[in-house]
Amino acid sequence: MKLLSKIDLGSLTLQNRMAMAPMTRCRADVNGIVGDLTVLYYEQRASAGLLITEAINISDQALGSPFTPGLFNQDQVEAWKKVTAAVHQKGGAIYAQLWHTGRVGHSVDKKGVLPVAPSAIAITGQQHFTSQGPKDYETPRALTTEEVKQIVQDYRQAAINAMAAGFDGVELHGAFGYLPNQFLVESANQRTDEYGGSIENRSRFVLEVMQAISEAAGPGKVGIKLSPSIPYNSIIDSNPTDLYTYLITELNKLPLSYIQLMNAMFPTDNLPQYPRDVIGTFGKLSQHLVMANGGYNRETGEAELEKGIAGMISYGALFLANPDLPKRFELNAELNTPDRATMYFGGEKGYTDYPALS
């Protein structure tokens, strides 16, 4: 199977072409510090070719959901050192996914402070899950130009912290409607400064962040996750094909290790401008290794690799429920079923208690 063959990623040689996709698990403490359960969680899944962590807040401002981890102070760095050491001891490789949620948050979990965004435009038609239950989204505060530039530096520092914590690299969460994604699209970005208006200007924030974290982490140690055809979190653009064609072409100029592309996971019948074949449309533009994400199983993942555009496949819920997923794929063994009720909050149940093959 191609899925189980080795592949080079930057200076790493990965044991297979299966990545564990980043998944929000909300098991950190109120200070964003991960504990022993998180160490065990990643250690259990170290047979993945590459582990990509749950999204990690780059600053106090970046937080959107309660009990999500951080990477912006020394206590958080020290806690992540235990995770990376455990994964490396098992022969695995692990990247930290860097996160700023932007407007995808609520003041009840941000010490009463409003979320920030490119423009003061609220998410509509959805609610945010907070520590006090589901709540309508608030209208965020628009960032000043100077604040935008400071957030670029926050990403740089988070990448420095990640490398100090022993991570093999970092990934920018540029997908699913979080802050970088908000800058990219017209529905969330109506700025009139250098970060708004044209496709070039709306792409500027993402490209500046990628330049900064590439310098901080080093060549071949940075990836990015993008979701060109996902309208979730009120992310709508009139011409996503031109937008992402420009962005990926510019990303080709940076010394990245991969681009992770999410498939279209939501109905887009009323958005005919959104390409359905994300890998075929955008993956072929990348000069970096393409990682395909979203809804794959053993057979469809192998078939995607056989097409020759993607070099790796990332699995979310399947890795969550099957810590030994590569071995199960090798043996074509039965898979555990993910428990959706325990995905986002709780303790060891639905986190570290999924059985491996005996």
Which residues are part of the catalytic machinery?
A: 178
Structure tokens at 33: 């510090």
Going 37 to 41 to 46 to 49, the CA torsion angle's sign is negative
User: Using N-to-C axis directions, what is the helix angle for 74-89 and 36-44, rounded to 10°?
Assistant: 30
Nearest-angstrom CA–CA distance, 313 and 267:
22
**CB distance 67 to 154 below 8 Å:** no
Residue 199, classed as helix, strand or coil, is helix
Closest CA to 103 of 37, 19, 188, 2: 188
What does residue 239 show for φ and ψ, rounded to 5 degrees? -145, 70
Alpha carbon distance 92, 334 (integer Å) = 24
Contact 210, 172 (CB under 8 A): yes
The two tokens of residue 13 are: 């040689």
Alpha-helical segments (H) within 218-316: 240-251, 278-282, 298-306
**266 contacts 230 by C-beta, under 8 angstroms:** yes
Q: How many other C-beta atoms lie within 10 A of the C-beta of residue 295? A: 14
Burial string for 134-169 (b: 16+ CB within 10 Å, else e) reads eeebbebebbeeeebeebbebbbbbbbbbbebbbbb
Residues paired with residue 130 on neighbouring β-strands, in sequence order: 133
Angle at 21 between CA 20 and CA 27, to 5 degrees: 95
